[in-house]
């Protein structure tokens, strides 16, 4: 009697070979697509930055994004000093890696860490938009903890350094339909015109409420509607904005700007 052509060993061998071939193909595809993925991530960050500044619309093409970004001046500042610092390479600077680095980052006092990020970078990029030597918008990269994730975005300020001109996010993992509504363009637009800092010592006064803003309230100009069903995400957004606009974040830089120390 002849042996059956198919056997358990042969079946396992074929399956193993297929797995190896497939894994090699997947690995090759991942390696080949990595540069494209990185480029798309950078483009998405630029798009959200420009959206916060009101320079592009949501459906902007790559060409439109690059053309608009060419009009944005990027500088690297020392956060503690609030001044431009060219000792760090702007082209290769990565704020996420810097925050985790023992030398390039620092621990944050838990009492002041309203953004719940534990560490922050010692330097940060700042984006200036304007013409004829006059700054018309200051765009700041900000981040903080939400309910499920670290939320990364941009806030644009008027030259008075206290009036919000735009707000957007480019990365987060909040719950779709709840905390994920931080991506809602209507909600982001509700920040425009809000007063984030007071007019005296320029401390953060912006608040994200649990519920709707009462337009008759004296504090309405510095209040934003909370996200329905997403109290913790709303608190996280408020914390990140207040932290980065405060004295441990961009506060020293904004003070320097008000004194004329930063120009295009």
**Within a 10 A sphere around the Cβ of 65, how many other Cβ atoms?**
19
**Within a 10 A sphere around the Cβ of 186, how many other Cβ atoms?**
8
Predicted local confidence at residue 193, as pLDDT: 97
Portion of the chain with pLDDT greater than 70, in percent: 92
| Burial status of residue 167 (CB atoms within 10 A of its CB: 0-12, 13-18, 19 or more) | buried
Domain boundary pick from 70, 85, 120: 70
Predicted local confidence at residue 189, as pLDDT: 96
Based on the domain organization, do 22 and 146 belong to the same domain?
no
Based on the domain organization, do 120 and 36 belong to the same domain?
no
Predicted local confidence at residue 201, as pLDDT: 87
Identify the segments of the chain with pLDDT beneath 70: 1-6, 26-38
Burial 214-252 (b: 16+ CB within 10 A, else e): eeeeeeeebbbbbbeebbbbbbbbbbbbbbbbbbbbbbb
3-state secondary structure of 124: strand
User: Which residues sit opposite 169 in a β-bridge?
Assistant: 153
**Within a 10 A sphere around the Cβ of 254, how many other Cβ atoms?**
24
Q: Write out pLDDT tens, residues 117-164.
A: 999 999 999 999 998 889 999 999 999 999 999 999 999 999 999 999
Instruction: State which residues form the domain around 28.
Output: 7-70
Based on the domain organization, do 52 and 166 belong to the same domain?
no
Helix locations, the chain, DSSP H: 8-52, 62-69, 95-100, 185-189, 231-244, 251-258
Between the CA of residue 7 and those of 1, 11, 20, 256, what are the distances in Å?
Answer: 15, 6, 20, 78
Based on the domain organization, do 129 and 34 belong to the same domain?
no
Q: What are 192's two structure tokens?
A: 């425009």
Q: Quote the number of domains for the chain.
A: 2
């Amino acid at each position: 009697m002849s042996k059956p052509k198919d056997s358990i060993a042969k079946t396992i061998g074929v399956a193993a070979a297929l797995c190896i071939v497939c894994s090699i193909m997947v690995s090759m595809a991942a390696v080949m697509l990595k540069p494209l993925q990185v480029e798309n991530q950078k483009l998405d960050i630029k798009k959200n930055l420009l959206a916060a500044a009101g320079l592009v619309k949501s459906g902007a093409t790559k060409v439109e994004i690059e053309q608009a970004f060419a009009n944005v001046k990027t500088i690297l500042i020392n956060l503690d000093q609030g001044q431009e610092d060219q000792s760090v390479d702007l082209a290769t600077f990565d704020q996420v890696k810097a925050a985790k680095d023992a030398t390039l980052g620092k621990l944050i006092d838990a009492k002041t860490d309203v953004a719940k990020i534990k560490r922050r970078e010692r330097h940060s990029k700042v984006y200036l938009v304007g013409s004829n030597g006059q700054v018309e918008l200051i765009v700041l990269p900000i981040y903080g903890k939400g309910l499920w994730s670290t939320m990364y975005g941009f806030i644009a300020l008027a030259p008075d350094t206290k009036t919000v001109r735009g707000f957007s996010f480019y990365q987060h993992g909040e719950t779709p339909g709840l905390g994920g509504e931080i991506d809602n363009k209507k909600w982001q637009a509700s920040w425009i015109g809000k007063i984030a800092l007071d007019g005296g010592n320029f401390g953060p006064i912006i608040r994200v409420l649990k519920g709707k803003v009462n337009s008759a309230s004296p504090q309405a100009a510095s209040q934003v509607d909370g996200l329905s069903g997403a109290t913790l995400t709303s608190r996280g957004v408020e914390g990140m904005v207040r932290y980065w606009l405060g004295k441990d974040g961009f506060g020293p830089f904004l003070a320097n700007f008000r004194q004329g120390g930063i120009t295009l």
